Structure 1
Amino acid sequence: MTARANVLVTLAPKMAVVFVGFLIAGMGITVLPIHVSSDLGFGTFVIGLITGSQFCASLMTRLWAGDFADRKGPKKAVILGLSLAAAAGALYLASLITISQPVLSAAILVAGRGVLGAGESLIITGSVAWGLATVGSQHSGKVIAWIGTAMFGALAAGAPIGSALFAVQGFAAIAAATILLPLLMAAMVAPLESVSGRSSPSASRLSVIRAVWLPGLGSAFASLGYGSILAFSSLLFVDRQWADGWLAVTSFATALVASRILLGHLPDRLGGPFTALVFAIVEAIGLVTMGLASQPIVALAGAALVGFGYSLVFPGFGIAVVRAAPSQSRGMAMGLYSACLDVALAFSGPALGLVGDVAGLPTIFVTTGGLVSLSTFVALFIIRRGQACN
């Protein structure tokens, strides 16, 4: 068996955990804006607020989740994360009970999305730390890319599944699946071998922040495209009176998964910052294409370009983090790195929602394309700094 196949086999259980954790996100993300708009009667600002609450909660818990994985072991972090995801499903059900009071129902949805954000923070951070501990930092690009592949594969699969469930039983079906699937996955993870927590003292948080902040800034700019696709692509299709808006998320995620399967080795081979530079340009082009599209097929092609571009930006900048962070605090470093994504998504949801309310939904994607392009300057700075150090 080749070294690449060995790495894939070792990572498979961690990828399965992430797949289930984000399948429930994929099932809900395309129908939640429609539920909030049609059933509760709110506009894009409230939709962005509810969507952003998940990322805000992730932001507040990422550093703790990474430290928890370092101290207690990544398996415990994963199981706790799955348990919180199930609790989010229970809050979804509670929001339906109060649907006759839209403000209260929306507030409960905010809480549910927040709990889900905390759970996903533990799931993704614990799984990446678990993967790095079992295959080694020399494969850090593959760990980040392939575990991310499971995440976006789940989003791709979740979009049509969620739309089908929503069509049959409404948001209640999404809530039930959000409860059951994480609990089943937690039962399957329980027998797996654990990785012990750290035995040496943790590095100072300041040293971790120094390793993370610049690559994290680049990742934050690039992640705005991901956030726009999740929060507003289905509404763009509704606004243009195009059918099957869930296809935009599926096109994005399918292109991302295909790119990571075929090209996931590039950040380890070519260097993370250079890979991030090239693929961020592609992502920005895809976003502008979506904003200017006059036909659904063009918008779907734009969404696929966004997914293809974003596919290797996050692992590209992530390699710079892994190589600069203290080895005993890689979980914390990856948690903080992921928190940069959460900062972008938490605040961009409401902000871009306001842009949509004022200037129209297509403007959201053109604006985001310009913001994503800023990550190329960050990549260039990291490349030049590395050349100066050599």
Structure 2
Amino acid sequence: MSTHNAYFSLNHITAATRIAVSAPNATRARTVLVLLAGTVALTTTGFGIVIPIFSKRLVELGSGVEVLGMMTVSYALAAFLAAPLAGILADRIGRRPIILASLAAFVAVNVGYVFADSTGTFVALRAIQGAVIGSLMPATLGVVADVAPSNSRARWTGVLMGSVSSGLVLGPVVGGVLYEALGFEAPFIASASAGLVSLAAAVLFVSETRTRTVRRREMLRARHENQQGDQTGKPFVTKLPRPLVVFTALLFLNFMLEFVYGFADLEMVFYVYDRLEWSSVQFGGLVAAYGVAMVSGQVLLGHVSDKRGRGPIIILGLVMTSALYAGLALFTSFPMLIGAAMITGAGEALAAPALSALYLDITPEQHRSRVMGIRESSIQLGGVAGPLLLIVASSWITPHAAFVAAAVLLAVLAIPALATLRRRTHGVGVTRDGIGDRHAAAHGALRGTVAWARSVRPEYISVPA
């Protein structure tokens, strides 16, 4: 075809003045997130149901605290290893398969507990359960990142974390009642049933948010970047969030928070019974005050960092979390410690959603579950290191010194947080609210095409009013 004929075939062209962009369906996003939160709440309730039963069942099998410690360590190590692997899979094959597989394995593990007749079986099943829970969280947080707008990401992260916390608060109470009334099999059957209902709900109502089309588009983009040589020699580093100093600070904060909790909370259990001579009702009241403040705070205050910024809310939350340990070091009054526990719960309710939302803010879209898996690993590593330190130091450190150290550490964590998180961070991935660069490029390409056509056949160009 001649150049003249090619020009003549352009026909009548209308110059575009804007590009229509499809907005995310807010109703659908809200429905997916609410259903996901309900599914997670039911699952963690089932998880919490069996927590008070392990020690009693181990005593029946002739074992004690050593095996319980092995179960705790095996759970944390399995979650530490499984979380990043599950995150990679969730980015590659989608969130839904990982969520469904985790829920199905959760049901199977609880059925296995019913038939377990040795401590070795309990330790192995607990490790599998750690891998299951460690795999579930990166995928669910990936769903939040996929469908929640960036200006309400912390809000929905708080709702999801509130559902997790509510299950962990409610579950042990239900488990204790079932054990006393019906024996040790009942809590495990109830937990398996809760998991089965969660699995059915996820199958029916939780759709894939990282679709095959999205994954293929990102694969083609990555292939193009590799062909251009942009990622040669540094495949892993390019998948990490930017700025790296902020990502490293977030991992450190998550590790230290879990480390302090693991170190001080075990000491607190013995302290309130042996030194303060509390009853189980009083200790339950302390835990309930903390739990209610944390759950309600995550649901009601999770959105604060969306409006006030991640850094200031994280720092405020870190300072507030030190209240309970400072209270244990300074007071023996039950009402004072209840108040301190509520302040700590509210502080965690502020800090945790903001921390998770900041991970998602700075992570490329195609690597979000992978990064949340790394986050989960840092949390589990802290959960192992804290109790191990307490075991080593228990012979020479006093409860008072442990609480002072915990309070100081939590408050001091605000210093590196202030130094690194005060900088303004931007998401580097393409988000629903940050997709403007792609639209701008498309708009520019379209205007370039129209300009070329106008220069060739100006008589066929019309610009709408």
Do these two structures clear the TM 0.5 threshold for a shared fold by scoring above it? yes
2:355 aligns with 317
What code does the residue aligned with 1:207 have?
Answer: T
Q: 1:262 to 1:349 in 2, by over 3 A?
A: same
Query: What is the aligned counterpart of 2:289 among 251, 275, 282?
Result: 251
2:79 aligns with 58
Query: How do 1:337-376 and structure 2 match up within 5 A?
Result: 337-356=375-394, 359=397, 364-376=402-414
Question: SS of the residue aligned with 1:187?
Answer: helix
What code does the residue aligned with 2:302 have?
Answer: G
8 A Cα contact 1:27 1:160, kept in partner = yes
Q: 1:86 to 1:355 in 2, by over 3 A?
A: farther
What code does the residue aligned with 1:382 have?
Answer: T
Counterpart-to-counterpart distance in 1, 2:410 and 2:60: 31
Task: Identify the structure with the greater helix proportion.
Answer: 1
Q: C-alpha displacement at 1:306, in angstroms?
A: 2.5
2:37 aligns with 15
Counterpart-to-counterpart distance in 2, 1:112 and 1:238: 31
1:219 aligns with 254
1:304 aligns with 342
User: 303-312 or 367-376: which moved more?
Assistant: 367-376
2:160 aligns with 147
8 A Cα contact 1:234 1:248, kept in partner = no
Query: How do 1:179-258 and structure 2 match up within 5 A?
Result: 179-192=192-205, 193-195=207-209, 196-197=211-212, 198-199=215-216, 200-201=218-219, 204-211=235-242, 212-227=247-262, 235-239=270-274, 240-244=277-281, 245-258=283-296
Q: C-alpha displacement at 1:235, in angstroms?
A: 5.0
Counterpart-to-counterpart distance in 1, 2:42 and 2:104: 12
Q: C-alpha displacement at 1:89, in angstroms?
A: 1.7
Question: SS of the residue aligned with 2:407?
Answer: helix
Counterpart-to-counterpart distance in 2, 1:88 and 1:363: 39
User: 5-14 or 126-135: which moved more?
Assistant: 5-14
Sequence identity (%): 18
Q: 1:115 to 1:331 in 2, by over 3 A?
A: same
User: 322-331 or 216-225: which moved more?
Assistant: 216-225
Counterpart-to-counterpart distance in 2, 1:128 and 1:228: 27
Q: Any idea what the Cα deviations from partners look like across 1:47-71, whole Å, max 9, x if unmatched?
A: 4443233222111111111112112
2:429 aligns with none
2:104 aligns with 83
How many equivalent residue pairs?
376
2:131 aligns with 118
Counterpart-to-counterpart distance in 2, 1:365 and 1:164: 32
Tell me, yes or no, if structure 1 residue 29 matches structure 2 residue 51: yes
Counterpart-to-counterpart distance in 1, 2:269 and 2:42: 22
Question: SS of the residue aligned with 2:76?
Answer: helix
Aligned-residue CA RMSD (Å): 3.1
Query: What is the aligned counterpart of 2:93 among 69, 72, 95?
Result: 72
Q: C-alpha displacement at 1:151, in angstroms?
A: 0.4
Question: SS of the residue aligned with 1:294?
Answer: coil
What code does the residue aligned with 1:25 have?
Answer: F
2:7 aligns with none
Counterpart-to-counterpart distance in 1, 2:255 and 2:249: 10
Counterpart-to-counterpart distance in 1, 2:47 and 2:390: 21
1:136 aligns with 149
1:158 aligns with 171
Query: How do 1:250-329 and structure 2 match up within 5 A?
Result: 250-290=288-328, 293-329=331-367
Q: 1:233 to 1:182 in 2, by over 3 A?
A: farther
Question: SS of the residue aligned with 1:29?
Answer: coil
Counterpart-to-counterpart distance in 2, 1:216 and 1:280: 14
Counterpart-to-counterpart distance in 2, 1:229 and 1:254: 20
Structure 1: unaligned runs, 5 residues or longer: 99-104
User: 275-284 or 22-31: which moved more?
Assistant: 22-31
What code does the residue aligned with 1:222 have?
Answer: L
8 A Cα contact 1:91 1:111, kept in partner = no
Q: Normalising by the residue count of structure 1, what TM-score does the alignment of the two structures yield?
A: 0.84
Counterpart-to-counterpart distance in 2, 1:290 and 1:37: 31
Q: 1:386 to 1:135 in 2, by over 3 A?
A: closer
Question: SS of the residue aligned with 1:312?
Answer: helix
1:109 aligns with 122
Counterpart-to-counterpart distance in 2, 1:28 and 1:236: 25
